[in-house]
Amino acid sequence: MTRPERREIAVSVIIPARNEEQFLSECLESLCRLDFPRESLEVILVDNGSTDRTLEIATEFKSSLDLRIVQKAGVPISALRNLGAAAARGDVFAFLDADCRVPRGWLGDATALLRTQGVGVIGAEPLLPENVTWVSRAWLGRRPVEKRGEVTYVGTANFIVSRENFLRVGGFDESLETNEDCEFCHRIRAAGLSVLAFPQIAIVHLRVPRTLADFYRKQKWHGTHVFKVFLREISALANARAVFFALYTLLCLAGIVAGSIFALAVHRYGPLAAAVAAMLLPPVALAAQAAVARKSWPDWAPLTLLYLTYGFARAVCILNVRAWLSGVRPAPGATGTRNSARAQTPAP
């Protein structure tokens, strides 16, 4: 990855986007309000073939921000982020989603925290926007507080890493459509660096699930390549909890189908009841554990339903054999590989 000539930029904010006209303006406006030296900041919008007003909106902010637009259609979001990194001039890469709003102190706090010895990646669970429904309030409401300190991964909606460490592990894996954040953090930790979550740099995620159907679709999409990453190095147990939960749910669903057939054939319902009880047990227990930790028992019922829906969504991902078998290979090593999208470095 060739570094462009200008070196005074401290932070490059890299935003992948595709048809983000609904939220992009609020995202960029929040960057304009940052309490951070303007001359030390650049913004790179990496567009994946938008057909709405995304590019028009971005262009309107060029007078307020040092903003450049990079375009590459038809590639996964991991490739968009690598393209942004290839064009970046900063010593720090701050990956941000286009549907997020940042607080004024976001980059000042983040760059200070990133200088801590041995830190590889920092981020935070997102805060909720105004007027959310019970779905997001129950699932995400307490996460920024609950998830702090050393963690296995942070999400790429708010993902901050030095240029040096990004290059050290080879960037994001472009063979992954989802779960690229977890896979990247696995390589960071394998390199002896830590991944840390700091609630004080939490951003607001403007697009959150509002219905149970929205939640199911989001979890199904997020789970697309979770099993694929797990299979690459099973001994590392990357995504182990999510994978085992999905496999357990799938086994219970098979038991429910078999129990239903048995009940219809001989009018005995014991096996069916046992399978249903087995499937309900983990969601009930996980929801109770979360409710106790939060000291909020009203969260128990909605969390039980959400954990059950999560299990269904991730079980469907396990059945998508084509997704998790496609291109299963070792993750890129410390030197990385320059995929076709990553190698294209647009002019500043």
| Per-residue pLDDT tens over the stretch 45-74 | 999 999 999 999 999 999 999 999 999 998
Q: Is residue 329 part of a domain?
A: no
Together in a domain, 58 and 177? yes
Q: Which residue bears the tokens 């935070």?
A: 124
Burial of 159 (0-12, 13-18, 19+ CB in 10 A): buried
Distances (CA, A) of 182 to 159, 225, 257, 286: 11, 11, 33, 22
Query: What is the reported pLDDT for 325?
Result: 60
What string of DSSP letters covers 283-297?
Answer: HHHHHHHHHHHHT-G
pLDDT at 221: 82
Same-domain status, 200 and 307: no
**Cβ 35 vs Cβ 105: under 8 Å:** yes
Do 173 and 288 lie in one domain? The reply is: no
| Angstrom distance (rounded) from CA 63 to CA 157 | 25
Average pLDDT, the chain: 86
Q: What angle do CA 249, 255, 258 make, to 5 degrees?
A: 145
Do 312 and 338 lie in one domain? The reply is: no
Domain tally for the chain? 2
Inter-residue contact 229 to 222 (CB < 8 Å): no
Within a domain: residue 197?
yes
Q: Of residues 143 and 133, which shows the higher confidence score?
A: 133
Are 195 and 75 in a shared domain? yes
Range of the domain at 283: 236-319
Strands 67-71 and 194-197: unpaired
pLDDT in tens, 166-222: 999 999 988 888 888 988 998 999 999 999 999 999 999 999 899 999 999 998 888
Binning pLDDT at 50, 70 and 90, where does residue 133 land? very high
Indicate whether 264 and 204 sit together in one domain: no
Q: State the CATH number of the domain containing residue 177.
A: 3.90.550.10
Q: Is residue 229 part of a domain?
A: no
Let me know whether 58 and 147 are in one domain.
Answer: yes
Asked, for residue 66, whether it belongs to a domain, the answer is yes
- Interval 92-118: pLDDT, tens: 999 999 999 999 999 999 999 998 878
Tokens 């409401």 map to which residue? 141
Q: What is the structure's pLDDT at 332?
A: 40
- Name the pLDDT band for 226 (thresholds 50, 70, 90): confident
* 150 falls within a domain: yes
Is 155 in contact with 123 (CB distance < 8 Å)? yes
**Statement to judge: residues 50 and 125 lie in one domain:** yes
- Can you give the pLDDT at residue 328? 44
Cβ neighbour number for residue 34 with a 10 Å cutoff: 19
Alpha helix segments (H runs only) across the chain? 24-32, 54-60, 77-87, 106-114, 134-140, 143-146, 163-169, 180-190, 212-222, 226-232, 240-266, 270-294, 300-319, 321-325, 340-343
**Tokens 């005995």 map to which residue?**
268
Minimal CA–CA distance to 72: which of 59, 93, 61, 86? 86
Q: Are residues 270 and 147 in the same domain?
A: no
Assess if residue 324 is contained within a domain: no
Residue 291 token pair: 């409710």
pLDDT for 82 equals 96
Q: With 80 as the cut, is the pLDDT of residue 316 above it?
A: yes
Asked if residue 243 and residue 192 are part of one domain, the reply reads: no
**pLDDT grade for 90, boundaries at 50, 70 and 90:** very high
Checking if the pLDDT of 34 tops 80, the result is yes
15 and 159 co-located in one domain: yes
Distances (CA, A) of 20 to 23, 27, 100, 220: 6, 10, 11, 21
Strands 100-101 and 67-71: unpaired
